[in-house]
Every structure is written in structure tokens, then in C-alpha cells.
Amino acid sequence: MAGHSHWANIAAKKGVADKKRGKLFGKLSRAIIVAAQMGGGDPASNLALRYAVDKAKKNSMPKDNIERAIQKGCGELSGEQFEEVVYEGYGPEGVAVLCDILTDNRNRTAGEIRKIFEVNNGNLGSTGCVAWMFERKGLFVVPAANVDEETLFEVTIEAGADDVQHESDTYEVTSSVDTFQDVADALEQAQIATDLSEITRIAANTVELDADAGRKVLKLMEALEDQDDVQSVTANFNIPDEVMEEVANAD
């Protein structure tokens, strides 16, 4: 899972979410709208909506914004109709990249995503070209200072998690999509704070990058994250710690 967790850590250190909070709220609203469209407006019976709402709350999205998004999804307020699309491609050094999209104009979005790949030394691929390398999983990143490994293992495995790994100064807990919410609830009840809690795509294998290639891939990742229709981006890369530090400390 190095590619995903490396990017998540870099984004957090650079304050990407804080710099683009308005854009983030727009993306969170889309996720809520689509979840409500597909399963109704009650988070208690619609787990996808519950997940989308919990993620919005964790990112300090105002309650009124959340309620309006649910109303739009249920047809109580007028709004755009979004569809889910996955775009796949290759970055520098053949790194596999997956973009989860919510768009109201597939043709426009495809053109913009293709352009981002092209100007960042990559190319947009055909459906299925890299998706087979990834598995949808629940991922929780827990600062090691927050809990000891034995306690974390007991809380999460009992709730249905698949694995707990110690990575530098954090623990990475993985689960199936089906048990994600149970693990999230167990962590909350145990008062174990997380740096990251989401359903994502995790690569089976990673591409090791040198400093130059690492910077190029990170530039592509950030450009894709900045596109309005992109909900999330993941890739199968691993980069040296010194490159992570350099990028994280860059202006």
C-alpha cells in the first residue's frame, strides 16, 4: 500500500486539503449526492451515505452543506446529476494510476484528465488496463503515538480488520469494504484517533522510483487531485524517504 499511503502522508504534510478546502467541500458534496441518489437519504440504512457524511464531517464540512447535498440526492432540491467513472492510466516509469470520478459531463472530464496525464509525462489508458492491479479496501492510518500495537490489533481485528502493519511512525490497518464501518466504529468507541480513514484502492505490487521519477509522479498526482471531478487518486509507486521530505517541505 506504499503508493497510496505515501501520497496521503505527503498531501497531509503539504496541507493540500487545507489549501483547497472550498474545492474539497464540492467533492464531498458530490459523494453525498450520489450516495443519496443510489440508496436514499437515511445514513442509518444507507452505508454509502453514512460513509460520505462521516468523511464530510471529519473534514469540517458545515452541517447545512451536508443536508443540502442529501436533499439534492433525494430530489428535494434541484441539482446536477452525477455519474461514477473510473479513469485509468500510466504515469512516469510506467506507474499505474487510478482516478475515481464523479462527473456531470463525461466527455469534458475525459478530455481534462487526458490533458493532465499528457502534460505530466503520462498517458490515459483504456478501461481495465491497470484496475486489475488494485483491490478496494478500507484503510486506517493511526499515529503510533496514539496507541500501542497490541491494543490496536485487538480492537480492529475483533471488529473485522484484515491486518495491522507498523510503518515508521504510524500503523496502517486494512479491512474489507464490508467491514470498514465496523472497524471505524470500533476505533471511535475505543477513542483511537486516525490520520486517515477511508475506502480506497490498494496496489498488490509497487514500482520503486528514484528521486527524479518520484518528483514527476508526485506532480501528476497533485494535478489530478486538483481536478474538480476527481474524488480520489491512487497509484502503485514507492519513493525514497528523502524525496518525501523534500516535497513535503517545498513551498
> For 205-239, what is the HEC assignment?
CCEECCHHHHHHHHHHHHHHHHCCCEEEEEECEEC
Q: Which residues pair with 139 in a beta bridge?
A: 174, 198
Q: Which residue type is seen at 40?
A: G
Q: What is the pLDDT of residue 104?
A: 92
Inside any domain, residue 78: no
Q: What's 233's domain CATH number?
A: 3.30.70.980
Q: What is the pLDDT at residue 189? A: 95
- Verify that 119 and 215 share a domain, yes or no: yes
Task: Please indicate, yes or no, whether residues 41 and 156 belong to a single structural domain of this protein.
Answer: no
Instruction: Spell out where 125-229 has E strands.
Output: 134-143, 161-167, 170-175, 196-203, 207-208
Indicate whether 36 and 20 sit together in one domain. Answer: yes
* pLDDT tier at 70, thresholds 50, 70, 90: very high
Residue range 12-54, pLDDT digits in tens: 555 554 556 668 888 999 999 999 999 999 998 998 899 899 9
In a domain, 185, yes or no: yes
Q: Could you tell me if 196 and 137 lie in one domain? A: yes
118 and 236 assigned to the same domain = yes
Can you tell me the mean pLDDT for 145-164? Answer: 94
Q: Within this chain, do residues 196 and 212 fall inside the same structural domain, yes or no?
A: no
* 16 vs 80, residue with greater confidence: 80
Q: Compute the distance between CA of residue 2 and CA of residue 141 in angstroms, rounded to an integer.
A: 12
**Quick one: pLDDT at residue 212?**
85
Which range of residues forms the domain containing residue 164?
133-203
Q: Cα separations (Å) of 48 from 45, 53, 236, 248?
A: 9, 9, 26, 32
- The reply to whether 210 and 112 lie within a common domain is yes
Question: Does residue 151 sit within a domain?
Answer: yes
| Any domain includes 121 | yes
Claim to verify: residue 126 and residue 137 sit in the same structural domain: no
Question: What confidence tier does 102 reach under pLDDT thresholds 50, 70, 90?
Answer: very high
pLDDT computed for residue 248 by the predictor: 56
Number of domains in the chain: 3
Position 146 scores a pLDDT of 87
The mean per-residue pLDDT over the stretch 64-74 comes to 94
Tell whether 241 and 191 lie within a shared domain: no
What was the pLDDT predicted at 142?
Answer: 92
Whether residue 3 is contained in a domain is answered as no
* pLDDT at residue 250 tops 50: yes
What pLDDT does 192 receive?
94
Whole-number pLDDT of residue 200: 87
72/81 Cα distance (integer angstroms): 9
- What is the rounded average pLDDT for all residues in the chain? 87
